[in-house]
Chains A and B, each alone.
Chain A
C-alpha cells in the first residue's frame, strides 16, 4: 500500500514531501511527512496570535507560504514566508479596498493559485466580500471590482461567519471562466476573467436575508469542481447538498443517504459546511445536527462519502468511535491531497487534526490540540536530487 516516498526519474531521485498547513484562531501549524504519511513532524505556532483564515503552499515558489492573517483589533494582512515558515513578513501592498469604495476588508478567507498557464497569478477572496488578484506572485494586489459593482450589491447580506468570499474555482481548460461563492449571497460566474459576473443560483432555495434582490440571498457554504468534468460542481449549501451539471447554470439536490430530510421541518435539509473531492472523484462531507446546533449529530464524528459513480452518500468513517465529539468542521477545514492513494485531512472547531490515507475509513489523530481550526490545506512538494 502507499506510494514510495522516493522515485527515480531520468533526472535523478525525486523525494515527495507532504505538508499540511493548519490555520487556527491562534496561528499557523505545519505538519510534514513523506509520501507514506505515517509519521509526521509538527512545527508552530507560526504567526502566533494571528487568525489564519487562509494558507497556500505556493508550488511554483519552492518553500513559499502565503497566509491570510487577521486580528480582532489589528485587522487583516497577507503574510509570506520564503523558507517554509522560518521567517515571515507582511506584504506591503496586500489586498485593500479603495477609500472610494466604502468597503472595509476584515479577513482574507481564501488564497488560491491562478490557472496553471498563469503561474504568477494568485487570487484572494475576502470579507467584506470581494475578489482580489495578484499578477506578481502576491507582491501587489488589485480588486476585480466588477464583482462588488454588480447590480445586486445592495442586496448582499452576511452569513453568520461574516460576508465572506470563501470559494474561488477556476475552470481547468479556460482561465477566463471562474466561479466564486459568497455567504450568504450566492454563486457568481465570470466567463471573461472577472470583467463581468452573473449570478448562478437557480435551483437553490433562497434564505431569509430580508433584502429585495431575488437574484441573491443564497447561503453557499462551500463548492468544489469535479476533477474530470469542469461543468460539474458540488456544493454544501445551508439547506442541503447540491450538484450542477451545467457549469452552475442550475443546481439539484444530491442527498440520498444523508441524515436530514428537506421535507421534514423537524429534521431539516442536510446541513454542514465543508465539502471536498478527491482527484478520483470521491466526495466527502460532515452532516451536522442542524443550522441551529451546528455540531456533529449525536456527538459522533462521522465522515460521509459518495464514491465516484455512486449516487448515494454513506457513512465511511467513524473518526473517534469511543468518544463523543460535539464539535464542527468549518468550511475550509477539510481537504484531500493529490497522491495515490489520496489522503483526507480535517480539523475541528475544538482544535484537533485527523487524517486518513485509506479513503476515509480509518483515521489517525495528529498529536496536539490547537485553537479553533479555520483552514486545512495540503502542499505536495517534489524535491529532485541530482542522480
Chain B
C-alpha cells in the first residue's frame, strides 16, 4: 500500500531532494524500515547512536505521534501519511 512521506526541507539532501514522496508498505513498522533502507542518511538525523529518537524530532502517523502508539504493526491504508517534524516549543 503506498504511503505519503513528508520530511523537513532541511533534510531533503538525504532524500534525493524530495520533501514529499511515497513508499510502499503493509504496516507502519515496515514503512519506517523501508524509509531508512531507502534513505539511510536520514537515520542519523532521526536517531542518536543509542537508537533513541532524538529529543526534538517527532514522527507523526496520520497526525499522531508514533511515540504514543502501543505498537507499530498498524496496517497502512490508502491515503495514510508519515510526517517527520521538528518538535517546537515556544517561539
Spot the interface stretch: A99-107, A133-141, A195-203, A331-339: A99-107
Total interface residues on B, using CB and 8 Å? 19
Per the bound structure, the CA–CA distance linking A73 and B85 in Å amounts to 9
> Counting CB contacts under 8 A, is A96 at the interface?
yes
Per the bound structure, the CA–CA distance linking A103 and B49 in Å amounts to 8
Asked if A104 and B48 sit within 8 Å, CB to CB, the answer is yes
Asked if A97 and B49 sit within 8 Å, CB to CB, the answer is yes
Chain A min CB distance to B39 (Å): 11
Residue of B nearest to A87 (CB): B13
> Counting CB contacts under 8 A, is A1 at the interface?
no
Chain B min CB distance to A92 (Å): 6
Per the bound structure, the CA–CA distance linking A78 and B41 in Å amounts to 11
Per the bound structure, the CA–CA distance linking A77 and B46 in Å amounts to 12
Which of A50, A75, A79, A89 is the one whose CB lies under 8 Å from B54? A75
Query: Which B residues are in CB contact (< 8 Å) with A101?
Result: 49
Chain A min CB distance to B86 (Å): 4
Contacts A75-B48, A99-B50 given; does A88 touch B13 at CB 8 Å: yes
Asked if A104 and B50 sit within 8 Å, CB to CB, the answer is yes
> Counting CB contacts under 8 A, is A17 at the interface?
no
Asked if A96 and B44 sit within 8 Å, CB to CB, the answer is yes
Instruction: State the total of A-B contacts with C-beta under 8 angstroms.
Output: 49
Query: Which B residues are in CB contact (< 8 Å) with A75?
Result: 44-45, 48, 54
Query: Which B residues are in CB contact (< 8 Å) with A104?
Result: 48-50
> Counting CB contacts under 8 A, is A265 at the interface?
no
Interface string of B35-78 (1 = CB under 8 A from A): 00000110011101111001011000000000000000000000
Per the bound structure, the CA–CA distance linking A79 and B14 in Å amounts to 11
Asked if A74 and B48 sit within 8 Å, CB to CB, the answer is no
Query: Which A residues are in CB contact (< 8 Å) with B44?
Result: 75-77, 94, 96
Which of B41, B50, B86, B87 is the one whose CB lies under 8 Å from A92? B41
> Counting CB contacts under 8 A, is A294 at the interface?
no
Asked if A74 and B49 sit within 8 Å, CB to CB, the answer is no
Query: Which A residues are in CB contact (< 8 Å) with B49?
Result: 96-99, 101, 103-105
Query: Which B residues are in CB contact (< 8 Å) with A97?
Result: 49
Chain B min CB distance to A273 (Å): 27
> Counting CB contacts under 8 A, is A72 at the interface?
yes
Per the bound structure, the CA–CA distance linking A35 and B47 in Å amounts to 45
State the 6 A-B residue pairs at the shortest beta-carbon distance, nearest first.
Answer: A73-B56, A74-B45, A73-B86, A97-B49, A104-B48, A49-B10
Question: B residues near A, CB below 8 A?
Answer: 8, 10-11, 13-14, 40-41, 44-46, 48-51, 54, 56-57, 86-87
In the assembled complex, 30 residue pairs joining A and B whose CB atoms fall closer than 8 Å, in A order, are A49-B10, A50-B10, A71-B45, A73-B56, A73-B57, A73-B87, A74-B8, A74-B11, A74-B46, A74-B54, A74-B86, A75-B45, A75-B48, A75-B54, A76-B44, A79-B13, A90-B14, A90-B41, A94-B44, A96-B44, A97-B49, A98-B49, A99-B49, A99-B50, A101-B49, A104-B48, A104-B49, A104-B50, A105-B48, A105-B49
